[in-house]
Structure 1
């Protein structure tokens, strides 16, 4: 059996806004009826996070729940716990219509940290990131440049970006170039 390696193997682009790969993270796509009490309980028991509302992410450390669509959540857990987490979901949702799939090795997680991190993302995504419209805990599934991605704000200066592993290098490069170009000052 081979050892798991992250898509970018810890790559970092330091600067006023630092772009860094977060490393391996357990990611489970969970599809089902999000209002179902069994599904909600399984998710909150597993992660300790509150169920997210539409367009929200509730994350603490390596665990969390991200709203992906009306019938889909992204469940985040430590990488080493993902197989056990899927088994726990399977047990909790036995007899329920759902799909839980480990997508950890198909995705990459990139962190954007710094005072104008919002602008770094805004230069690349067709989403309203004005501070009145996008706040910590908000989540968007969209595009960065030419690739599908999702991102959320951990806090005022930190975004987490998820993309497919196959485009991680491209996405990292886009973010690094956007950060290197500096602040535009649009949100001041």
Structure 2
């Protein structure tokens, strides 16, 4: 078995905010109607996590479970745990109409950190970041690509497709260039 590597070798950029690629990160897509009776029980049993409400992300230790659509969740967890958790979730869901898939190598994760981290995303997304609540996950466009992000202590986390990782890193780094702050001090 080969060793997992991040899309960009954990690239980083220091500007008025810090941009870092985080990886490798385990990611599981779980497709099922959220009102499926066994779904909340399976999440609690396998991940010790609650089913997130619409446009929310919840944490349970190192695990994050984010609402992506009315029938999709994104689960983030340590990379080494993915295979076992996919099997356990599939078993816990039994014969219910659901799909549990390892998407770890198809996605990338970035951290945008610092007091001015929101300004980096304000330049690239139509999202009203001033209205983004703690624990809210937003699916949106980041310039020309699909992305999802949420606030965490010290900044934001952003998920995108691995195939556009270099483009996303370039966007974030360019947006964080010193001297391009939206609200100069």
Q: TM-score, normalised by structure 1?
A: 0.91
Matches within 5 A, 1:58-97: 58-59=58-59, 62-97=62-97
Question: Which residue does the alignment assign to 2:32?
Answer: 32
Q: Which residue of 2 aligns with 1:168?
A: 165
Residue in structure 2 matching 1:134, options 132, 135, 138: 132
**Per-residue deviation, 1:16:** 3.2
Unaligned runs of 5+ in 1: none
Structure 2: gaps of 5 or more residues: none
State TM-score, norm by structure 2. 0.93
Quote the residue 1:47 is aligned against: 47
Q: Per-residue CA shift, 1:138-177, capped at 9, x if unaligned?
A: 111111111111111113x311000111100110110111
Aligned length: 184
Output the CA distance in 2 between the equivalents of 1:172 and 1:60. Answer: 28
Distance in 2 (CA, whole Å) between partners of 1:49 and 1:119 is: 31
For residues 9 and 177 of structure 1, what CA distance do their matches in structure 2 show? Answer: 19
Task: Summarize deviations over 1:100-135 as a string: whole Å, max 9, x none.
Answer: 1110000000000011111111110111111xx102
Following superposition, the deviation at residue 61 of structure 1 comes to 5.4
Q: Go from structure 1 to structure 2 and tell me whether the alpha carbon gap of 1:26 and 1:112 turns closer, same or farther (over 3 Å shift).
A: same
CA distance in 2, matches of 1:18, 1:129: 18
Establish whether residue 103 from structure 1 lines up as the match of residue 100 from structure 2: no
Q: Spell out structure 1 runs of 4+ moving beyond 4 A.
A: none
Is the partner of 2:3 in helix, strand or coil? coil
